[in-house]
Homo-oligomer: A and B are copies of this chain.
Amino acid sequence: MQVYLAGPDVFLPDAIAIGRQKADICTRYGLTGLYPLDNIVDRSDAGASLAIFTANEVMMDAADAIIANLTPFRGAGADPGTVYELGYMAGRRKLCIGYSNDPAVYADRVRRFTSVTNHDGHLVDADGLTVEDFGHSDNLMMIHALGRYGCALVTPREKPADVWHELSAFEACVRLAAERLDAKRS
């Protein structure tokens, strides 16, 4: 069974090494990890961006499941590219598993970037836009999609020192994916 390994990991300086580590963990659980091709396509080519999209979509269509790294990226929430892929896989009715290495509640995380105040019983940011406050670690659409198409978001008890290289929560996701895919097969 094949698992698409989505995440902003592709933007790390050691993206290819991380991809190999993740694929190795998948192998240990009897799964094949498919890692996005962002780093293999020739970026100087004018069609590189479309080639990455197409290759990633082919991999998602081939995969039985997605494991999405929803650790906050460049702001209070998950990487939109990864979130797009989670939505796509939910739409394709594939098994959806995800983790975030930052267990903080979304509203608390927004407070790191902007002032958050209580306004008529709900939280708003400095621009007056509502801050979701359901006690989840990110936007409710992703959180409940995981519940509906897979398992609840996996988070560590405490934020690890290196959120991009700590793979315990990822490994927990691989274990869950292997169990669910096994159960489906039998």
Complex contacts, A144 vs chain B, CB 8 Å: 49-50, 53-54
* Cβ–Cβ contact A74 & B129, under 8 A: yes
Complex contacts, A143 vs chain B, CB 8 Å: 49, 53
Complex contacts, A132 vs chain B, CB 8 Å: 11
* Cβ–Cβ contact A56 & B141, under 8 A: yes
A33 to chain B, nearest CB (A): 19
Which one of A23-31, A80-88, A153-161, A177-185 is at the B interface?
A80-88
* Cβ–Cβ contact A80 & B138, under 8 A: yes
Whole-angstrom CA separation of A143 from B129 in the bound complex: 25
Which residues of A from 68 to 102 have beta carbons under 8 Å from B? 73-81, 83-92
The size bracket of the interface on A is 35 or more
Contact bitstring A36-50, B, C-beta under 8 A = 1, else 0 = 000000010000111
With beta carbons under 8 angstroms apart, the residue of B50, B76, B87, B92 that contacts A86 is B87
* Cβ–Cβ contact B140 & A81, under 8 A: yes
Q: Does A130 contact B (CB under 8 A)?
A: yes
Whole-angstrom CA separation of A80 from B73 in the bound complex: 11
Report if A77-B80 is in contact (Cβ < 8 Å); known contacts: A90-B87, A91-B91, A141-B56: yes
Report if A84-B43 is in contact (Cβ < 8 Å); known contacts: A74-B77, A74-B113, A129-B11: no
Which residues of A from 148 to 176 have beta carbons under 8 Å from B? 148
